[in-house]
C-alpha cells in the first residue's frame, strides 16, 4: 500500500471513530411536552426562578413553584384561582418524635364517617409543604369521598433522615387512633403521596408491616422516589427536564442524608416487599423518576403485591394536581381516586 493510500485509510478510520463516539456521546432526546403541560412549563419559566441546585435550602424554599405556574395559567386564561369548592380544610398540630408538626384535614361534603388517606407532599424532603400541593389532597378528597390528612413533616437538612419517615409514621398512627374525631373510619385508612411523599407513603407501609401494626388498605404512589440510581434510562433522557432534573435530585439526596442501604430511605433496597398493601403507581413521561417508578411497580408485583401502574405521556414531574389546566392531570386524579374507592370497599388488612 502506498504512503498516500495508507494516510487516506487512517483518516477514514479516524473519521469513523469520531462519528461513532459523537453518536454515543449525544444526550438522549427528552420527550416533548403536550400543549397544556407546555403552557404550565412556560409559565413556570416566566416566573424567574433560579436553579434549585445552585441555592441553599432556605433560598430554594422561596422560589416559584409549579403551583404558582398553574395559578398564572389560570389568571392568563381569565379563570378563578380560588380552590375548588366542596371540601373543607381544618389545620391542627400533632405530636411527633421531634416535636409537634402540622397536619391539614381535607373533608368532603356528606355525612361520613369517611375512609381516610394520609397524604405526604413532595419536594425532595427539603422544600415545599401542603400549601404548595394543596390541589392534590383537595381533588382526592372530593373525587374519592374520603378525608385526606395531609402532613407537613420535618424537613432536611435541618432534620435529616429518618426525621421525615418517623413523622410520616407518627401521622399514620395518629389517624388510626383518632379517625373518629375527624369523621373518619379507622378500618379504612390508606397512605399516598407524590415524589418524596410517594417514598414516605410506601415507607410507612413497610414500617407498619415490620412493626406488626395495622396496615394501610392501599398505597397511592405518584412518581415516587424509591432509589438512588441516577443512571437509569429516564434519568439520562430527562437529565435536564423541568421542573425536576438530575442535578436537583442530587441536591435533594445530599441534603436529605438518607442511608443509601436503608430501605426506609430507599424502598427499592428492601430485602422483600412482601406483605405490603395493594398499590397504585402513577408516572410521568418527562421525569427522571419514570424508570424507577416502573421498576418499583414490577418489584411489588414480583413480591406478591397487587399493583396497578399507569404512565402518562407528554407530561412532567409535578403534573398530578394540575387538573385545573392539564387534562391528563385530571385523568390521573380520577384514576387515583377510583383506585382508592375500590380499596376502601375491601375490609382492612
| Straight-line distance from the first to the last Cα atom of the chain, in angstroms, rounded to the nearest whole number | 80
Annotated catalytic, 185? Answer: no
Is the separation of the CB atoms in 66 and 318 below 8 Å?
A: yes
What's the CA gap between 60 and 115, in Å, rounded?
35
Kind plus residue range of the DSSP H or E element containing 116: strand 114-120
Catalytic residue, from 121, 136, 234, 287: name it. Answer: 287
Among 195, 234, 278, 291, the one annotated catalytic: 195
Kindly list the distances between the CA atom of residue 133 and the CA atoms of 194, 297, 311, 319, in Å, as whole numbers in the listed order: 9, 24, 20, 11
Of 143, 267, 259, which Cα lies nearest the Cα of 205?
A: 267
Residue 317 annotated among the catalytic residues of the structure: yes
For the CA atoms of 208, 214, 218, 219, what is the dihedral angle to 10 degrees? -20
Residue 195 among the catalytic residues: yes
What does residue 308 show for φ and ψ, rounded to 5 degrees? -120, 125
Active site residues: 195, 287, 317
Amino acid at each position: 500500500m502506498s504512503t498516500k493510500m495508507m494516510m487516506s485509510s487512517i483518516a477514514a478510520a479516524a473519521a469513523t471513530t469520531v462519528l461513532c463516539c459523537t453518536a454515543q456521546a449525544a444526550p438522549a432526546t427528552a420527550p416533548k411536552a403536550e400543549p397544556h403541560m407546555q403552557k404550565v412549563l412556560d409559565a413556570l419559566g416566566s416566573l424567574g426562578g433560579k436553579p434549585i441546585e445552585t441555592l441553599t435550602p432556605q433560598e430554594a424554599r422561596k422560589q416559584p413553584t409549579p403551583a404558582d405556574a398553574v395559578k398564572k395559567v389560570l389568571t392568563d386564561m381569565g379563570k378563578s384561582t380560588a380552590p375548588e369548592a366542596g371540601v373543607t380544610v381544618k389545620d391542627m398540630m400533632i405530636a411527633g418524635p421531634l416535636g409537634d408538626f402540622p397536619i391539614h384535614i381535607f373533608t368532603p361534603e356528606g355525612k361520613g364517617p369517611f375512609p381516610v388517606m394520609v397524604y405526604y407532599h413532595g419536594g425532595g424532603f427539603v422544600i415545599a409543604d401542603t400549601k404548595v400541593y394543596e390541589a392534590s389532597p383537595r381533588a382526592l378528597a372530593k373525587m374519592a369521598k374520603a378525608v385526606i390528612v395531609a402532613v407537613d413533616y420535618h424537613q432536611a437538612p435541618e432534620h435529616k433522615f429518618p426525621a421525615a419517615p418517623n413523622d410520616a409514621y407518627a401521622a399514620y398512627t395518629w389517624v388510626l387512633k383518632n379517625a373518629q374525631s375527624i369523621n373518619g373510619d379507622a378500618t379504612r385508612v390508606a397512605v399516598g403521596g407524590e415524589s418524596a411523599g410517594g417514598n414516605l407513603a410506601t415507607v410507612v407501609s413497610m414500617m407498619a408491616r415490620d412493626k406488626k401494626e395495622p396496615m394501610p388498605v392501599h398505597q397511592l404512589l405518584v412518581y415516587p422516589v424509591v432509589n438512588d440510581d441516577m443512571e437509569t434510562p429516564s434519568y439520562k433522557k430527562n437529565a435536564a427536564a423541568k421542573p425536576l432534573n438530575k442535578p436537583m435530585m442530587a441536591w435533594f439526596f445530599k441534603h436529605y442524608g438518607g442511608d443509601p442501604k436503608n430501605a426506609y430511605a430507599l424502598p427499592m433496597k428492601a430485602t422483600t416487599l412482601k406483605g405490603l398493601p395493594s398499590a397504585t403507581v402513577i408516572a410521568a413521561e418527562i421525569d427522571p423518576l419514570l424508570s424507577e417508578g416502573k421498576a418499583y411497580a414490577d418489584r411489588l408485583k414480583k413480591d406478591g403485591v397487587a399493583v396497578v401502574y399507569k404512565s402518562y405521556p407528554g407530561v412532567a414531574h409535578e403534573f398530578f394536581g394540575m387538573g385545573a389546566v392539564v387534562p391528563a392531570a385530571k385523568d390521573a386524579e380520577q384514576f387515583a381516586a377510583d383506585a382508592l374507592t375500590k380499596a376502601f370497599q375491601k375490609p382492612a388488612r
